[in-house]
């Protein structure tokens, strides 16, 4: 691939604004705020369950408030981490093909983790 | 995407130097740590998913996973995860201060940077003291 030393600014000048990007920044900050609160909740939860038997651990997670806290944490956390990893990929992976593949895998990973966690919490809450 | 004009011969332009030419400063090290801890937390969500799935799957498998997390290597990983979480959280709060437009003078930057590493170690210690008490 030919080396291109034109600055990104040179390539995009006069093409108009991207009309997006601020939403990425804002959502990263918004989920960062909620994560800071929910991290305290996670630490409390893990510390409370550490070493507990299955029945009491299950009862705690099945509690509606604990379950909702976990669901909030999963939602907020996976959105935040997907945005963060997207920034890292865009910083370091410059070839279009590998970059698109990495960005797709990043989204798939975030959704997979979120779904596995949400399904487990729902099963613990609603399941017999 | 706009492509550069290939007909013109490309002349190699100078690039700005990267990290290795700078003496490491605490705010730079903390910035790098913030990114690394973010990646660690990203990978570490597998642990949370695994643990929740184990809890949902039943007593036998949960006991097995619980023993793994309770073993010495498991505890070391969880201790590391606690520190990484606290460090990334404090780093994020530091960025919130900067987002307001304040705290950019060098003395404050240094204080915030040292504060986040000392604070993260302190919080990790407190959490583990309370959790294992």
pLDDT > 60? residue B105 = yes
Q: Considering chain B, what percentage of its residues have pLDDT values greater than 70? A: 92
Question: Given a cut of 70, is residue B126 above it in pLDDT?
Answer: yes
Per-residue confidence (pLDDT) for residue A8, from 0 to 100 = 81
Q: What is the 3-state secondary structure (H, E, C) of chain B?
A: CCCCCCCCCCCCCCCCCCHHHCCCCHHHHHHHHHHHHHHHHHHHHHHHHHHHHHHHHCHHHHHHHHHHHHCHHHHHHHHHHHHHHHHHHHHHHHHHHHHCCCCCCHHHHHHHHHHHHHHHHHHHHHHHHHHHC
Contact yes or no for B46 and A88 at CB 8 A? no
Out of A13-22, B12-21, B39-48, give the one with best mean pLDDT.
B39-48
Size of interface A-B (CB pairs under 8 A): 98
**Span B96-121, average pLDDT:** 94
What is the ipTM for the molecules in this complex? 0.86
Whole-structure pTM over 0.90, yes or no?
no
What would the mean pLDDT of B17-45 be, rounded to a whole number?
91
In this complex, the residue of A2, A88, A120 whose CB is nearest that of residue B55 is A120
Question: Which of helix, strand or coil describes residue A5?
Answer: coil
Q: What is the pLDDT of residue A100?
A: 97
Q: For residue B41, which residues of chain A lie inside 8 Å, CB to CB?
A: 81
Q: Is B92 in contact with A35 (CB distance < 8 Å)?
A: yes
Q: How far is B131 from chain A (nearest CA, A)?
A: 5
With CA atoms as reference, the chain A residue closest to B13 would be A5
Q: What is the DSSP letter of A63?
A: S
Tell me the nearest-neighbour CA distance from B49 into chain A, angstroms.
5
pLDDT per residue over A47-60, tens digit each?
998 888 999 999 99
- Per-residue model confidence as pLDDT tens digits over A88-99: 999 999 999 999
d(CA A80, CA B65): 27
Q: Do residue B2 and residue A12 have CB atoms under 8 angstroms apart?
A: yes
Q: In this model, does residue B4 exceed pLDDT 70?
A: no
Contact A5 B10 (CB under 8 A): yes
With beta carbons less than 8 A apart as the criterion, state whether A62 and A127 touch. no
What is chain A's pLDDT, residue by residue, as a tens digit (128 residues)?
A: 567 788 888 888 888 877 888 999 999 999 999 999 999 999 999 999 888 899 999 999 999 999 999 999 999 999 999 999 999 999 999 999 999 999 999 999 999 999 999 999 999 999 75
pLDDT at A60: 95
pLDDT at A127: 79
What pLDDT is stored for residue A85 in this prediction? Answer: 98
Q: Which residues from A are below 8 Å from B55, CB to CB?
A: 54, 57-58, 61, 120, 124
Tell me the chain A residues in contact with residue B99 when contact means C-beta distances shorter than 8 Å: 29
Q: Residue B10: what pLDDT?
A: 66
Helices (H), chain A: 8-12, 22-49, 54-62, 64-92, 96-126
The residue of chain A with its CA nearest to that of B39 is A85
> Residue B82 and residue A29: Cβ atoms within 8 Å?
no
CB-based burial of residue B11 (10 Å sphere; 0-12 exposed, 13-18 middle, 19+ buried)? exposed
Q: Which of A43, A77, A124 sits opposite B55 (nearest CB)?
A: A124
pLDDT-derived band at B93 (thresholds 50, 70, 90) equals very high
Q: Kindly identify which residue of chain A lies nearest to residue B74, measuring between CA atoms.
A: A50
């Amino acid at each position: 691939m030919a080396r291109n030393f034109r600055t990104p600014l040179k390539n995009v000048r006069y093409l108009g604004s991207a009309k997006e990007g601020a939403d990425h920044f804002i959502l990263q900050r918004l989920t960062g705020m909620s994560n800071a609160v929910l991290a305290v909740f996670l630490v409390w939860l893990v510390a409370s369950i550490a070493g507990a038997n299955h029945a009491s651990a299950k009862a705690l997670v099945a509690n509606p408030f604990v379950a909702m806290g976990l669901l909030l944490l999963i939602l907020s956390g996976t959105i935040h981490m997907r945005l963060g990893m997207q920034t890292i990929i865009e910083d370091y992976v410059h070839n279009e093909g590998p970059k698109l593949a990495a960005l797709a895998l990043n989204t798939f990973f975030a959704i997979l983790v979120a779904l596995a966690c949400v399904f487990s919490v729902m099963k613990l809450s609603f399941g017999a | 995407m706009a492509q550069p004009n290939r007909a013109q011969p490309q002349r190699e332009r100078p690039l700005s130097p990267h990290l290795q030419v700078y003496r490491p400063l605490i705010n730079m090290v903390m910035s790098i740590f913030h990114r690394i801890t973010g990646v660690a937390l990203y990978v570490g969500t597998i642990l949370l998913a695994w643990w929740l799935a184990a809890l949902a799957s039943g007593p036998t498998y949960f006991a097995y996973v619980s023993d793994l997390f309770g073993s010495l290597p498991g505890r070391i990983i969880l201790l590391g995860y606690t520190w990484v979480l606290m460090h990334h959280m404090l780093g994020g709060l530091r960025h919130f201060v900067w987002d307001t437009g304040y705290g950019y003078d060098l003395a404050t930057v240094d204080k915030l940077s040292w504060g986040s590493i000392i604070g993260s170690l302190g919080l990790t210690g407190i959490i583990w003291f309370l959790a294992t008490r």
